[in-house]
Amino acid sequence: MTLRKTILSGMRPTGKLHLGNYVGALENWVALQQDYNNYHLIADYHVLTTDLDTSHITQDTVDMVIDWLAAGIDPLKSPMFRQSQVKQHTELHLIFSMLITTARLERNPAVKDQVRDLHIENMSYGHLGYPVLQAADILLYKGELVPVGEDQVPHVEISREIARHFNNQFGPVFPEPEPKLTPFARLPGLDGIDRKMSKSGGNTIFLSDSPEDIQKKLRTAVTDPQKVRKNDPGRPEICLVHTYHQKFNAPEAEDIETGCRSGALGCVECKKRIAERISACLTPFREKRAYFDAHPQEVFDILTDGEQRARSRAEHTMADVHAAMHLG
Ligand code: ATP
Ligand code: MG
């Protein structure tokens, strides 16, 4: 009998992870695995909503899982598994698709944002149903908490509605999952404080970047346009590099702020210092990554084990679902 709550969280396997993924999700997952039962989903079916070219999905999955492991996810504590390898996701998705109207899905603000950002003219049936598959992902494990950024809260709300509808119709099987907001929900990219660091934005520092890459990338980071020369006073509140200091160099952030405002500290030096801090923070990742790069079979073994454990939990849930629905 365990009193630990179950957490379900996942990512679409679209390749190497960046600092934004780390501070917004991964860092939190690592911390939460001490006190919760964490399940980590590799949402490979969800990739199909925006990309039907699956030729690189295996490599992208391996790259992402190595980043998870390098950041400190412990596969013994937290099973990691591919959605496509646990068939019950699609089964529960089908049942859930009967419990929600298309009008409700069309009102989902996240879908509206995607239509605008990705210039989608004709959305597929499966893409509109993205949050229904997500509800199945969470509820298959009876997930109670879902650690997400603010943008994902509307999706968790849809999962809650589906769970409630199911329980009212067929009897109490599912918890109503709650979002657990990540403490650092938005890290800016290298191209400006108003822009989110994102893979598709091309403004990232990857967790796998070398110290030289990190130095080079930070040199191009956009800072206060009014601080042209070293001695010009700067405005840290509009500088993304300062955000990085606050996150990765907290003990020195205040001094750096003072130096920037007075003009005593120039951008070149400020960027050099944060590049060193970020590189130092990623050093332990580098060692673990090197290990898994040299032992790729271990990554697949971890997935095979995670998939077995996920399947066993999924079978239990589906037995409850079938019993409640008088199926079979
Ligand atoms: P894409 O550009 O393809 O949407 P992405 O870089 O935004 O990719 P996702 O795969 O969408 O990355 O996000 C994975 C996880 O990382 C999510 O939990 C998301 O909330 C979090 N995340 C992504 N970017 C950031 C960021 N800049 N700051 C904080 N969290 C982030
Ligand atoms: Mg995104």
Q: How far away, in angstroms, is 90 Cα from ligand 2 center?
A: 23
Is the domain of 18 the same as that of 137?
A: yes
Torsion-angle region of residue 119: left (phi > 0), alpha (psi -120 to 50) or beta? left
User: 57-110 pLDDT, tens per residue?
Assistant: 999 999 999 999 999 999 999 999 999 999 999 999 999 999 999 999 999 988
**Could you tell me if residue 193 is inside a domain?**
no
Same domain, 137 and 239: no
Does 70 share its domain with 169?
yes
Cβ neighbours of residue 264 under 8 Å, at least 6 residues apart? 258
Instruction: Encode pLDDT of 177-194 as tens digits.
Output: 999 987 777 899 999 999
Q: Structural domain of residue 220, as residue ranges? A: 211-289
In a domain, 194, yes or no: no
- pLDDT tens digits, 260-275: 999 999 999 999 999 9
- How many Å lie between the centroid of ligand 2 and the Cα of residue 115? 13
Mutate-to-test residue for ligand 1 from 9, 14, 21, highest number of ligand atoms within 8 A of CB: 21
Q: Quick one: 285 and 304 in the same domain?
A: no
- Helix, strand, or coil here: 206? strand
d(CA 185, ligand 1 centre) in Å: 9
Closest among 5, 11, 19, 41 to 218, alpha carbons compared: 19
162 is a domain residue: yes
Can you give the pLDDT at residue 115?
85
Residues with Cβ within 6 A of ligand 1? Answer: 11-12, 14, 20-21, 23-25, 148-149, 185-187, 196-200
pLDDT of residue 2: 57
Closest ligand 1 atom to 184 CA: 29
Q: Are residues 182 and 251 in the same domain?
A: no
- Using DSSP, state whether 188 is helix, strand or coil: strand
Would you state the pLDDT for residue 102?
96
Q: Are residues 60 and 109 in the same domain?
A: yes
DSSP 98-147: TSS-HHHHHT-HHHHHHHHHTT-SS--HHHHTHHHHHHHHHHTTT--EEE
